[in-house]
Structure 1
Amino acid sequence: MIGIVSSSEPFKVKDVVLAGAYDLYGRGRVSNFLRSFNLLNMYLEIDGKRIDGKSVSNFQQELDMHQASFNSRFDYSDKATVSYTYYSLRHLPFTVLMDVSITAKRDIDITSASVMEAPDALKDVQNYYNEIDKPHVVISLLTSSAKSPTGKLLMCASNTFLFTEPHGQEPRVIHEMWDNNMHLMKFSKKIKAGETYRFAIAGSSITSAHHDDPLNEAERLTIYAKLEGRDRLISFHTRAWNDLWKSDIVIEGDDQSQQDIHSMLYHLYSFTREGTALSPSPMGLSGLGYNGHVFWDAELWMFPAVLVLHPEIARSMLEYRYQRLETARRNAFANGFKGAMFPWESAETGVEETPVWALTGPFEHHITACVAIAAWNYFCVTQDKNWLRERGWPILSATADFWASRVERNGPGKYEIKNVVAADEWAENVDNNAFTNAAAKSNLQYATEAAKILGIAPKSDWVDVANSIPILKLENGVTSEHATYHGEKIKQADVNLLAYPLKQITDVGQIKKDLEYYETRIPDEGTPAMTQ
């Protein structure tokens, strides 16, 4: 639920991004991901000198994908070796942890501060500092709240120090207010040569999109983390990630491919979570790319691996679509169609969020079939008939109805789908795009199969439409990308997806012919990874 964007500067975090938090601001007049409070930024002073990137040596940073930790280490002059690690805690979806270790090479004095800073886009920032003094613990809470750019959301964050000293011997914490957008709390400590001093910062960030009372909840979650303690927080986080990695994809004899696969899985797991009813954008929680919107990437490219390795997470991704099914019905109605039509770019509500200058929003309709295909594949893997009845069938039947109304019925074998943006997005406003037509056929066929499994009479029209949607060919026998395709360069794989994952083309000779043809139509640069 929290994405931490790393920085090459010691003790800095570039951005903190929250899943499910959108507001109408920035480019495109559409909902965008929001930067949240940067609740892990800190500074460290040694003998009165503040550490920065220019003053350290042997600076190393490492992402541990198995433990989901970002580890940094450096030397400071001849005075200290410093390491720190931060975590977006897997078992606590709104909580993060910074773990710091300082080994003194000579007697030193340190001052360390946790700095809470509001991003520029937020407004009406309020800063709070509170100390809760109990017989067994003192909890220092550095807290901030602000409204999102339109005032739609209340965004809140809080953090606290976790000290290793016994109660009553902890360093004294001092609060400083710098300006409306930034405040901090700090402490000082003497460390003798040869000693290692450890402390941590735990914090939580949450919005009114996630909780009705985010200000108090941010502090409650932070207090909980404080009293759990560093060791338990890291232990439970590690255990959760170990459970994720019990499912794996193993590549033998190719270390680079193995690392690439693990990187992909790590990011998929980092961007998704069981029980959230959220689905990842192409850049996940690694920043504000693609405005945080959900595209076909979620169902067609990310979903298959998640489905096989962790179907409980795949179910959450589909729940995101199911909860927006009624909005998809309204979208179909507005465009003159029946059933449900999912948006090309989706955010919080499920309305179309594509900026108006992009034709993909009004015309890249294959997304609707991609959602349905993912729903069918979920059932095929899990064999969860109750889910199929309650969640899958409403999606499959409504999307099948969409395609039955979307085709133009121009005679047997000519139920055409005209005026679309292809999966190859350089092909705009074309007729009978190969991927769109084939995905629609799959959608209709899977809806028919689902009906039979559930003991529901399928609409005979679905079979008729599926059998009548054309897949065009060029004169040389190659599958044509669309009705007016004449060998132009392509941006994305399109025709070749009919073999996999759609399985609408199964003849080995045809698959080979299509691959050999379209691999020569790919530019050397400017195309996404799915094409290269």
Structure 2
Amino acid sequence: MKHFKLWMFLLLCSAASGQSSWEIVADEINPNNYYGITVANGVVGIVSSPQPLKVTDVVLNGVYDYYQRGRVSNILKTFNHVNMNLDIDGRRVGPNNISGYKQVLNMEKAYLETSFDVEGKASVTSQMMSLRNMPYTAMIDVSITAMNDIRITPMSVLEAPNHLQDVRNYYSEIDRPHVNIPLMTSVGLSPSGKIKLAASNSFVFSEEHGEEPDIIHEEWDYNMHLAKFHKKLKKGETYRFSIVASTVSSVQYEDPHNEAERLTIFAMLEGADRLRKRHEGAWNKLWKSGDIEVTGSLEITRDVRSAMYHLYSFSRAGTAYSLSPMGLSGLGYNGHIFWDTELWMYPPILMLQPEIARSLLEYRYERLDAARENAFSHGYEGAMYPWESAGDGSEDTPVWALTGPFQQHITATVGWAFWKYYQVTKDKEWLSTRGWPVLKEVAKFWASRVERNGPGRYDINNVIGANEWEENIDNNAFTNGMVKTVLEYATQAALELGISPDPDWMHVAENIPILQFPDGTTRENATYNGVIIKQADVNLLSYPLNVIQDKNQIMKDIEYYLPRLAPDGPAMGAAILAVLYNRLGMSEKAAEIFSSSYKPNEVPPFGVIAETAGGTNPYFATGAGGMLQAVINGFGGLDINDEGIIQVETKLPSGWEKLIIKGVGVDNKTYIVEEK
């Protein structure tokens, strides 16, 4: 009887382990309806493929060149350096001769596991990761178990994307008394020829030197070459090997060819086990310093962790890289940097990973001179940040999009984000060297930008607000509210450093109008007449700006603008309303809005988030940022003010037994909200 009970206990544990909030399982894979998952480390993003042992794209952060649309720069795909082929008994493994095909993203340890059987011959498992401990390096671990006596031929394939030119392929073997390093490398130029990209990879074997397989190198005509080996396996035997691969560009290194090879050699000699241990250790540190769990809902916990996983994957501490709306999941929005970073993705990162948040701000600080030049060219003082920013910080919006010169609220939003970092960290040295220089220039810009038409009429005319469907309008609610706020923040920053602020900044702030309809509803702009809007604009004055704090006013604005939100608008707008509903004590309505902010946007087979409901352009990291704000700042009740991170009164919706937010702020505090 005891043995039976033990067996039942183990069976139940096994069944439960199949439902993990750390894993996203894709076991119904349709190549015609497949949107890949990304493994990334803040520098190299690798997008999965429905084809076995393949990947779709490899994206290198911070590397832009001019090609494709709009005569503006585009983030570059680099060499596909982690693709594989596998032959078993002379036949290529592919969709037509495999079964049990499954892909599982392990978010806790940040690897994608792919497994399948090959027509009664072998079981194959691969685990792919973009190494967190080596920002330019990826690794694939492969395990093949023979069902019968077989001969396997694994191939590491290195392929250039079509836009690279003057591609050169190299192969060499570095033979030392203790090791042989088979090194396959490709080097090419970006479309303009200005940037050199390089990628290199190598097999990693567990056999002693002299017993490892012999490598055969083959070069093909269409910018592709491969390295392969043969191995005979007995029935029941399992063979394991790894591939390490590095990619860099002349943006990061003066000599990318040599550096890619050096990094690959280092990774190869570190060995797969050491690399994995360091990779998992780095991710463990991230999760310890920033995790969220919803007791009572495994599904919501998984969804929230997916959002965190993607934001963590797309960003990195110790760099000056920022976040594109699509992160490192592809070439969406050309990989450019918008307000999406500071208003949507940055706030949850600031709460959970302040060091990563600092990197996002460093991107803007390094481009302050370009913003000054942009302000000068438009006839203003201070710094005017571009709506779309890429490599050098100049305006990179296509000329046909009016958002470029007119969506100026981004300049105020950048300044807002800088002060928020100081509120959380109280890092006065950073404020002196980074925060103040930016806030000062932002304030100077807006003081020169307003049109002084009398008391209470310091108008900001001819702009585009958060609702991009209303172009070239006057006194936009969000723009005006953010400008008032950042002028106050710049004044505070000066006082904090013992500097006399320009008194004109507060004078301007006090005279910028927030318009209303006759019934008291906040008006989106001077000519807004109730048409459908792309996304929340007025409601941003209540959260995150706190310009509007009266609960009756907040509800009045929600009731007016919620029915006017476009059903096909971007995901993040609804998330803001979820925060506001929760702060008004309406947790069930908040939960309904929260679910609508991302669930309709999930696409198969991993449930990655598209920009809009029914959209086909994942991963929309901006939406993930909005969703996390709904959880952290709405249901969690966390907020940021001059005291630092505080918690306001909040309430959980039904089904949420407990909300646990771990690793908050520089003190790594844990906040718990329990069902009442």
Same fold by TM (over 0.5)?
Answer: yes
> Matched residues, percent identical?
59
Q: Once the 2 structures are TM-superposed, how far is the Cα of residue 77 of structure 1 from its aligned partner?
A: 1.0
Q: Once the 2 structures are TM-superposed, how far is the Cα of residue 180 of structure 1 from its aligned partner?
A: 4.9
Q: Once the 2 structures are TM-superposed, how far is the Cα of residue 294 of structure 1 from its aligned partner?
A: 0.4
Specify the alignment match of 2:145 in structure 1: 103
Could you tell me whether the CA contact under 8 Å between 2:535 and 2:566 is conserved in 1? no
- Give the Cα–Cα distance (whole angstroms) in 1 for the partners of residues 573 and 561 of structure 2: 13
- Give the Cα–Cα distance (whole angstroms) in 2 for the partners of residues 333 and 287 of structure 1: 34
Deviations 1:312-364 (A, max 9, x none): 11111000000000100000000111000000000000000000111100100
1:168 to 186, 210, 224: 210
- Give the Cα–Cα distance (whole angstroms) in 1 for the partners of residues 117 and 144 of structure 2: 10
Could you tell me whether the CA contact under 8 Å between 2:70 and 2:398 is conserved in 1? yes
Specify the alignment match of 2:271 in structure 1: 229
RMSD: 0.8
Could you tell me whether the CA contact under 8 Å between 1:271 and 1:280 is conserved in 2? yes
Deviations 1:109-132 (A, max 9, x none): 000111111000000000000100
- Give the Cα–Cα distance (whole angstroms) in 2 for the partners of residues 360 and 501 of structure 1: 22
- Give the Cα–Cα distance (whole angstroms) in 1 for the partners of residues 388 and 566 of structure 2: 26
Q: Which runs of 5+ in 1 are unaligned?
A: none
SS in 2 for 1:141: strand
Letter in 2 for 1:304: P
SS in 1 for 2:280: helix
Q: Within the alignment, does 1:30 sit opposite 2:72 as a pair?
A: yes
Letter in 2 for 1:522: L
Deviations 1:12-64 (A, max 9, x none): 01000000110011101011011100000110011111000121000000111
Q: Within the alignment, does 1:260 sit opposite 2:290 as a pair?
A: no
SS in 2 for 1:245: helix
Q: Within the alignment, does 1:384 sit opposite 2:427 as a pair?
A: yes
Could you tell me whether the CA contact under 8 Å between 1:328 and 1:351 is conserved in 2? yes
- Give the Cα–Cα distance (whole angstroms) in 1 for the partners of residues 300 and 458 of structure 2: 43
- Give the Cα–Cα distance (whole angstroms) in 2 for the partners of residues 526 and 483 of structure 1: 22
1:315 to 333, 358, 362: 358
Task: From the superposition, tell whether residues 302 and 526 of structure 1 become closer, same or farther in structure 2 (CA, over 3 Å).
Answer: closer
Letter in 1 for 2:53: F
SS in 2 for 1:156: strand
- Give the Cα–Cα distance (whole angstroms) in 2 for the partners of residues 354 and 179 of structure 1: 37
- Give the Cα–Cα distance (whole angstroms) in 2 for the partners of residues 367 and 483 of structure 1: 20
- Give the Cα–Cα distance (whole angstroms) in 2 for the partners of residues 526 and 513 of structure 1: 21
Letter in 1 for 2:394: V
More relative contact order in 1 or in 2 (CA 8 Å, sep 6+)? 2
Specify the alignment match of 2:497 in structure 1: 454
2:110 to 68, 86, 91: 68
TM-score of the aligned structures, taking structure 1 as reference length: 0.99
Q: Within the alignment, does 1:327 sit opposite 2:345 as a pair?
A: no
Could you tell me whether the CA contact under 8 Å between 1:125 and 1:180 is conserved in 2? no
SS in 2 for 1:54: helix
Q: Once the 2 structures are TM-superposed, how far is the Cα of residue 522 of structure 1 from its aligned partner?
A: 1.4
SS in 1 for 2:533: coil
Letter in 2 for 1:269: Y
- Give the Cα–Cα distance (whole angstroms) in 1 for the partners of residues 559 and 234 of structure 2: 68
Q: Once the 2 structures are TM-superposed, how far is the Cα of residue 526 of structure 1 from its aligned partner?
A: 4.1
Q: Within the alignment, does 1:178 sit opposite 2:212 as a pair?
A: no
Specify the alignment match of 2:412 in structure 1: 369
Specify the alignment match of 2:40 in structure 1: none
Could you tell me whether the CA contact under 8 Å between 1:173 and 1:187 is conserved in 2? yes
Q: Once the 2 structures are TM-superposed, how far is the Cα of residue 250 of structure 1 from its aligned partner?
A: 2.4
Q: Once the 2 structures are TM-superposed, how far is the Cα of residue 179 of structure 1 from its aligned partner?
A: 1.4
Q: Once the 2 structures are TM-superposed, how far is the Cα of residue 276 of structure 1 from its aligned partner?
A: 1.0
1:130-279 correspondence runs (5 A): 130-246=172-288, 247-279=290-322
SS in 2 for 1:179: coil
Q: Once the 2 structures are TM-superposed, how far is the Cα of residue 257 of structure 1 from its aligned partner?
A: 2.2
Q: Within the alignment, does 1:39 sit opposite 2:81 as a pair?
A: yes
Could you tell me whether the CA contact under 8 Å between 2:535 and 2:569 is conserved in 1? no
Could you tell me whether the CA contact under 8 Å between 2:416 and 2:485 is conserved in 1? yes
- Give the Cα–Cα distance (whole angstroms) in 2 for the partners of residues 436 and 79 of structure 1: 63
- Give the Cα–Cα distance (whole angstroms) in 1 for the partners of residues 343 and 553 of structure 2: 22
Q: Within the alignment, does 1:493 sit opposite 2:493 as a pair?
A: no
Letter in 1 for 2:484: K
1:484 to 522, 527, 540: 527
Q: Within the alignment, does 1:48 sit opposite 2:90 as a pair?
A: yes
- Give the Cα–Cα distance (whole angstroms) in 2 for the partners of residues 447 and 402 of structure 1: 12
- Give the Cα–Cα distance (whole angstroms) in 2 for the partners of residues 188 and 525 of structure 1: 52
Could you tell me whether the CA contact under 8 Å between 1:126 and 1:180 is conserved in 2? no
- Give the Cα–Cα distance (whole angstroms) in 2 for the partners of residues 155 and 60 of structure 1: 33
- Give the Cα–Cα distance (whole angstroms) in 2 for the partners of residues 113 and 303 of structure 1: 41
